[in-house]
């Protein structure tokens, strides 16, 4: 009696024959083995395609990838910096004037209006590379100022870029950032800045195929470098602008007039 069966695929139906039928049909068995060997790579490729298709599905996933950056920087004024008007007077200027500053690294700060006592800005961050994507974050900010500090809170962030995947990523993350600037205006003078940034991500598309730990490590590294560069450059811009503002009365007047024009938009 036959101890097993081997399926043979016909044009319109499948037959099953006992192994005994193949004892004297070595050529048929060889042909089947060759067919099986040829089909295996195709099957493997199909499996990979199906996995990729599943990863590219639009189903909303939980925000299970966390990026956290906490950074603090101080920028001391040089001993040769003017004493009057004081650093405190400069830091208490209307925050609309920040839109007049030339930021480093191609960053741009645009005033978008006001909401009561709050000033609304858009910070355009220079393009950063994350794995195979290059994106430019556009951060909507609310700025509050008081006698002792200036606080910037990011209310939303939109990533812009040429890759179609960038548009999908914008639906897959939650963004929060707070930056606080304080200053010391005494025998030593400096501007301090602290930033706390949090991004929770539901990795879209092909990013789901990358281990979460790799995404978090890379995300933390990229965001830390970008954040530190922006803080360092912004503080240096403030120091340079204060020195010019404090030593040049005509510049102070131009800044005041330009700030009023910006605030009136």
CATH of the domain at 106: 3.30.530.20
Task: Give a yes or no: residue 132 inside a domain.
Answer: yes
CA distance 120 to 167: 24
256 and 150 both lie in a single domain: yes
146 and 249 both lie in a single domain: yes
Residue 27 has which token pair?
């050529």
What is the pTM assigned to this prediction?
0.69
Q: Are strands 108-115 and 118-124 parallel, antiparallel or unpaired?
A: antiparallel
Higher pLDDT, 32 or 77: 77
**CA Rg, the chain, in Å?**
31
* Selection from 105, 111, 100 nearest residue 140 by Cα: 111
* 103-141 pLDDT tens trace: 888 888 888 988 877 889 999 988 888 777 888 999 999
Cβ(184)–Cβ(190) below 8 Å: yes
Q: How far apart are the first and last CA of the chain?
A: 94
Domain that holds residue 37: 5-55
Average pLDDT, the chain: 79
83 and 116 both lie in a single domain: yes
51 and 70 both lie in a single domain: no
Total tally of structural domains belonging to the chain: 2
Cβ(259)–Cβ(124) below 8 Å: no
């Amino acid at each position: 009696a036959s101890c097993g069966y081997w399926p043979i695929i016909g044009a319109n139906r499948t037959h099953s024959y006992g192994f005994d039928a193949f004892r004297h049909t070595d050529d048929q068995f060889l042909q089947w083995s060759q067919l099986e060997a040829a089909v295996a790579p195709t099957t493997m490729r199909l499996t990979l395609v199906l996995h990729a298709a599943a990863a590219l599905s639009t189903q909303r996933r939980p925000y299970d990838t966390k990026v956290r950056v906490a950074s603090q920087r101080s920028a001391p004024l040089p001993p040769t910096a003017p004493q009057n008007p004081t650093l405190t007077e400069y830091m208490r200027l209307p925050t609309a004037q920040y839109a007049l500053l030339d930021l480093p690294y191609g960053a741009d700060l645009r005033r978008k209006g006001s909401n009561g006592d709050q000033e609304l800005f858009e910070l355009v961050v220079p393009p950063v590379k994350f794995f195979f994507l290059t994106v430019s974050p556009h951060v909507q900010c609310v700025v509050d100022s008081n006698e002792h500090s200036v606080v910037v809170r990011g209310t939303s962030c939109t990533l812009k870029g040429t890759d179609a995947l960038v548009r999908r990523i914008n639906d897959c993350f939650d963004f929060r950032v707070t930056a606080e600037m304080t200053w010391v205006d005494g025998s030593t003078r400096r501007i301090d800045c602290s930033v706390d940034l949090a991004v929770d991500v539901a990795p879209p598309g092909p990013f789901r195929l990358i281990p979460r730990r790799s995404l978090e490590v890379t995300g933390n590294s990229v965001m830390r470098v970008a954040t530190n560069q922006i803080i360092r450059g912004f503080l240096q811009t403030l120091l340079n602008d204060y020195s010019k503002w404090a030593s040049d009365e005509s510049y102070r007047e131009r800044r005041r007039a330009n700030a009023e024009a910006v605030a009136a938009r």
